[in-house]
Amino acid sequence: MANGVGGLLRNRGCARLGIALVIGVIGVIAYMSRTEVNPVTGEKQRVALSVDQEKVLGLQAAPEMAAKMGGVVPDSYPQAALVEEVGQRLVERGDAARSPYAGNFHFYLLADPETINAFALTGGQIFVTAGLYKSLRTEADLAGVLSHEIGHVIHRHSAEQMAKGQLGQALAQAVGVAASDGMDGGQQAAMMAAMVNQMVQMRYGRQDESESDRYGLDAMSAAGYDPKAMLEVMKVLAQAGGGERQPEWLSSHPLPETRIAEIEAYLRQMPAPSAPVSEGRPLS
């Protein structure tokens, strides 16, 4: 009888491993099959969305995202008009102009006066809060913020993260199935796998931020803005962070101090500008 029970448990364990293997393999195949060449950078990327899907998703999500931060400030306000003007200048004079998103970029000022933030949705919908805007000194500082967000769109970071997230979910599910014993063990294993997946996504997030910083510096220079203004943006973020911060390895963004060091290193490698650069108008 004992041998019979033991054999049954072994058979169930083999079945679970088989199912887990199938789930994992399907997840990996799906991820590997989503390879596209970025038309701007030439980089091979694994993405979860087509360019057209990115555009549609961004446009659909924009009103809801704006509503969460006080809504969009109308273009009739000079500050909102300047955000759009600076953003379009960065697009027109940089690599973004030859991207499939070129005509889809829009730049919005959000009314939230307390939150210090800027973000990009897929396809080119870019937002900066009034809280961040009022913390900036000059037009070049604003260009630093917007060019960084353009970098996220051009490098298709959101579509990459979605593909990685889907792969991570499949692998986490596979681990949970393989470790399941019908009791708490499987649940604990699934939780551990999910945590590992989250750590992987955070690591890639930090790389994305650094990549967008470098793109932003080049875009600022091409548009005639002093790229050193990006350092002022980092100081604003450092001040906004205050003293209560989690360790960098548990953060989706590099610490401002780390980004400052990377930006300074990249600035030393950049070629001398062919034309004078400017900080632009003071922001009011």
Lowest mean pLDDT among 25-34, 133-142, 273-282: 25-34
Average pLDDT score over the chain: 80
Strands (E), the chain: 35-37, 44-46, 106-110, 118-121, 125-129
Query: What is the value of pTM for the model shown?
Result: 0.79
DSSP-derived letter for residue 103 is G
Q: Give yes or no for a contact between 110 and 129, defined as CB atoms under 8 angstroms apart.
A: yes
Q: Give yes or no for a contact between 226 and 278, defined as CB atoms under 8 angstroms apart.
A: yes
Those residues whose C-beta lies under 8 Å from the C-beta of residue 284, and which sit 6 or more positions away, are 78, 79
Q: Give yes or no for a contact between 230 and 213, defined as CB atoms under 8 angstroms apart.
A: yes
How much is the pLDDT for 67?
92
More confident residue, 247 or 47: 47
In this model, does residue 168 exceed pLDDT 90? no
When pLDDT is cut at 50, 70 and 90, the band that residue 5 belongs to is very low
Strands (E), 57-147: 106-110, 118-121, 125-129
How much is the pLDDT for 158?
83
Q: For residue range 189-244, what is the model confidence (pLDDT) as tens digits?
A: 555 555 455 544 545 478 889 999 999 999 999 999 999 999 999 998 888 866 55
More confident residue, 38 or 24: 38
Q: Collapsing DSSP states into helix, strand and coil, what is residue 181?
A: coil
When pLDDT is cut at 50, 70 and 90, the band that residue 30 belongs to is very low
Q: For residue range 55-108, what is the model confidence (pLDDT) as tens digits?
A: 998 999 999 999 999 999 999 999 999 999 999 999 999 999 999 999 999 999
| Listed ranges 17-26, 53-62, 190-199, 272-281; the one with the highest mean pLDDT | 53-62
* CA–CA dist 144, 266 (Å, integer): 14
| Listed ranges 6-20, 21-35, 158-172; the one with the highest mean pLDDT | 158-172
- Give the relative orientation of helices 78-93 and 139-154 as an angle to the nearest 10 degrees: 50
When pLDDT is cut at 50, 70 and 90, the band that residue 13 belongs to is low
Lowest mean pLDDT among 38-42, 153-157, 248-252: 248-252
The bridge status of strand 125-129 relative to strand 118-121 is antiparallel
How much is the pLDDT for 24?
44
Task: Locate 152 and state its tokens.
Answer: 């996220």
